[in-house]
Structure 1
Amino acid sequence: MYQSDSVNSIIVLGGGTAGWLTAAVIAAEHDIAKRQDLTVTVVESPQVKTLGVGEGTWPTMRDTLRRIGISETEFLIRCDASFKQGTCFKQWTGTGGDDTYYHPFDLPTGFFETDLALWWAAEKPDADFADIFSAQPALCAAGKAPRQLQTPAYAAVANYGYHLDANKFADMLREHCVDVLGVKHISAHVQDIQCDKDNYLTALRTEAGDIRGDLFVDCSGFAARLIGQHYGSAFNSVSDVLKNDTAMAVQAPYADAECDIASATISTAHKNGWIWDIALPHRKGVGCVYSSEFCSDDEATETLLRYLKNDSVTAPVNADAIRKISFTPGYRETPWIKNCVAVGTSAGFFEPLEASALVMTELAALHIARQLPRSKPELAPISRQFNRSFATKWQRIIDFLKLHYVLSARTDSDYWQAMANTDSASDQLQDWLHMWQHRPINQHDFLYQDEVFPQASYLYILNGMGFAQSAPYHHNNDTNRFIQQNEKRKQQLLAGLPSNRNYLNALNQYRQQSAG
Structure 2
Amino acid sequence: MNTRIKNIVVLGGGTAGWMSAALLKKVLGGSVNITLVESDEIATVGVGEATIPPIQHVNRVLGINEAEFLRETNATMKLAIKFENWYRQGQGYFHTFSSPGQSSAFCQFHHYWLRAKRAGLGKDLWDYDLNYLALSAGKFAKLETRDPRLELPYAYHFDAGLYGAYLRKISQALGVKRIEGKVNHTTINQDTGAVEQLLLASGVAVSGDLFIDCSGFRALLLQQKLGVGFDDWSHWLPCDRAVAVPSERLAQTRPYTRAIAHHSGWQWQIPLQHRQGNGLVYSSRFSSDEQATQTLLQNLECQPVADPRVIHFRTGRARQQWHKNVIGVGLASGFLEPLESTSIHLVQSAIVRLLKYFPHTGIQADVVKQYNQESRIEYEQVRDFLILHYKLNRREDSEFWQQMARISIPESLQHKIDVFAAQGVLVRERNDIFAESSWLQLLLGQGVEPRDHHPLAGAMDEAQLANFMQQTEQLKREPITAMHFHDDFLQRFDQA
In 1, Cα distance between equivalents of 2:244 and 2:216: 18
Q: 1:100 to 1:438 in 2, by over 3 A?
A: same
Deviation at 1:106, TM superposition (A): 1.1
Q: Which residue of 2 aligns with 1:494?
A: 480
Displacement after TM superposition at 1:112 (Å): 5.9
Per-residue CA distance 1:264-316 (angstroms, 9 max, x = gap): 101111111111000001110011111111111122112112211xx3xx2x2
CA distance in 1, matches of 2:360, 2:467: 53
TM-score, scaled to structure 1: 0.88
Alpha-carbon offset, residue 195 of structure 1: 1.7
1:456 matches 2:437: yes
Q: Secondary structure at the match of 1:281?
A: coil
Distance, in Å, in 2 between the alignment partners of 1:119 and 1:6 is: 57
Q: Is the 8 A contact 1:44 1:187 kept in 2?
A: yes
* Equivalent residue number for residue 317 of structure 1: 304
Report the Cα offset of residue 332 of structure 1. Answer: 0.8
- Check if 1:430 corresponds to 2:417: no
Deviations 1:45-86, CA, capped at 9 Å, x for gaps: 222111123510111011110111111111100100000011
Q: Which residue of 2 aligns with 1:195?
A: 188
Contact 1:129–1:463 at 8 Å: present in 2 too?
no
Residue aligned with 1:101, SS = strand
Q: Within 5 A, what are the aligned runs for 1:203-282? A: 203-206=197-200, 207-254=202-249, 259-282=251-274
Unaligned runs of 5+ in 1: 511-516
1:416 positional shift: 0.3
Could you tell me the TM-score, scaled by structure 2's length?
Answer: 0.92
Q: 1:203 to 1:121 in 2, by over 3 A?
A: same
Q: Verify: 1:106 aligned to 2:98, yes or no.
A: yes
> Superposition pairs for residues 94-493 of structure 1, below 5 Å?
94=88, 96=90, 99-111=91-103, 113=105, 114-124=107-117, 129-147=124-142, 158-179=152-173, 181-197=174-190, 198-206=192-200, 207-254=202-249, 259-308=251-300, 311=301, 314=302, 316-317=303-304, 321-376=307-362, 378-423=363-408, 425-442=409-426, 445-448=427-430, 450-471=431-452, 474-475=455-456, 476=458, 483-493=469-479
Partner residue of 1:514? none
CA distance in 1, matches of 2:195, 2:169: 28
**Distance in 2 between the 1:117 and 1:495 partners?**
25
Q: In structure 2, what is the Cα distance between the partners aligned to 1:296 and 1:128?
A: 42
CA distance in 2, matches of 1:121, 1:482: 13
Kept after mapping to 2: 8 A contact 1:101/1:130: no
1:70 to 58, 64, 67: 64
RMSD of aligned alpha carbons:
2.2
Alpha-carbon distance in structure 2 between the residues aligned to 1:373 and 1:42: 19
DSSP-derived class of the 1:56 partner: coil
Partner of 1:321: helix, strand, or coil?
coil
C-alpha distance 78-386 of structure 1, shift in aligned 2 (>3 A): same
Q: In structure 2, give the amino acid aligned to 1:118.
A: H
User: Given that residues 423 and 454 in structure 2 are in contact (C-alpha distance below 8 angstroms), is that contact kept between their aligned partners in structure 1?
Assistant: no
2:42 maps to a residue whose letter is: V
> How many residues end up aligned between the 2 structures?
482
* Equivalence for 2:25: 27
Q: Give the distance between the partners of 2:180 and 2:468, measured in 1 at CA.
A: 56
Task: Name the counterpart of 1:47.
Answer: 41
Distance 2:45 2:397 in 1: 32
| Pairwise CA distance, 1:144 | 1.2
Q: Name the % identity.
A: 32
Residue 95 of structure 1 deviates from its aligned partner by: 6.1
Give 1:477 shift.
5.2
* Mapped partners of 1:451, 1:112: distance in 2: 22
Asked if structure 1 preserves the Cα contact closer than 8 Å seen for 2:73 and 2:159, the reply is: yes
Q: Which moved more, 1:484-493 or 1:471-480?
A: 471-480
Contact 1:93 1:409 in 2 (8 A): yes
The unaligned stretches of length 5 or more in structure 2 are: none
